[in-house]
Amino acid sequence: MLLWVGLGNPGPEYARQRHNIGFMALDAIAKRHGLSPWRKRFKGEVAEGSVGGVKLLALKPMTFMNASGDAVQQAASFLKIRPADIWAFHDELDLAPGKVRVKKGGGTAGHNGLRDMQRALATPEFGRVRLGIGHPGHKDRVTGHVLGNFAKVDTWVEPLLDAVADAAPLLAGGKPEDFMTRVALLTQEPAPR
């Protein structure tokens, strides 16, 4: 079984913030692949089912970003899921808006949700689906940027979430490179005529 974790903050006031794109991605995947309705469990909300024939638990920690690891550790421990079978979907400042990169392990790049997952799991060796939100240009503007809502001009958000949901079976099937390629193909701008 896989554990896919969306990183974000609970509550309607945070729902459209850039920092919550991990929650948005899991919502899109759950809807597209007919996962169970969300219910409260493991200090979060979970939806269960299968993606591409692979059993999956989707988890949105309801502990706020900085304590995401507690929910992840509870779910992983109870279900005996290894860190290698856990993927975190999160916002990434260092990627252009709408770009996606996946990797296993590595640092946290200052992301508090990843840092807390690493603390709780006692290892950095879990997967990351890095969803680009772009950088505001100066470090003094980072907090306002990530905690700001997506704007009307951010027309790339819905196509990206659709592409992630469409390509999810490739990630579930252990083909992260193919997943990235599929998302990139689905989100590329059509060539001008």
90 given a catalytic annotation = no
Catalytic residue among 19, 90, 111, 145: 19
pLDDT tens digits along 109-163: 888 899 999 999 999 999 999 999 998 888 888 889 988 999 888 899 999 999 9
Which two three-digit tokens encode residue 48?
């269960």
C-alpha distances (whole Å) from 33 to each of 26, 27, 49, 68, 77 are 10, 10, 8, 24, 25
Q: What is the structure's pLDDT at 27?
A: 97
Q: What is the structure's pLDDT at 80?
A: 95
Q: What is the structure's pLDDT at 3?
A: 97
Which two three-digit tokens encode residue 103?
């990797």
Q: What angle do CA 81, 72, 169 make, to 5 degrees?
A: 60
At residue 31, what are phi and psi to the nearest 5 degrees?
-65, -50
Q: What is the structure's pLDDT at 152?
A: 87
Which DSSP category does 89 fall into?
E
Q: What is the structure's pLDDT at 106?
A: 87
CA distance 95 to 106: 16
Q: What is the structure's pLDDT at 193?
A: 66
What are the pLDDT tens digits along the chain (193 aa)?
999 999 999 999 999 999 999 999 999 999 999 999 999 999 999 999 999 999 999 999 999 899 999 999 999 999 999 999 999 999 999 999 999 999 999 888 888 899 999 999 999 999 999 999 998 888 888 889 988 999 888 899 999 999 999 999 999 999 999 999 999 999 986 656 6
Which DSSP category does 37 fall into?
P
Q: What is the structure's pLDDT at 190?
A: 64
Which DSSP category does 191 fall into?
P
Task: State pTM to two decimals.
Answer: 0.94
Q: How many other CB atoms are there within 10 angstroms of residue 149's CB atom?
A: 13
Q: What is the structure's pLDDT at 137?
A: 86
* DSSP strands (E only) in the chain: 2-6, 39-41, 44-51, 54-61, 86-92, 100-104, 127-132
Q: What is the structure's pLDDT at 110?
A: 82
Q: How many other CB atoms are there within 10 angstroms of residue 92's CB atom?
A: 22
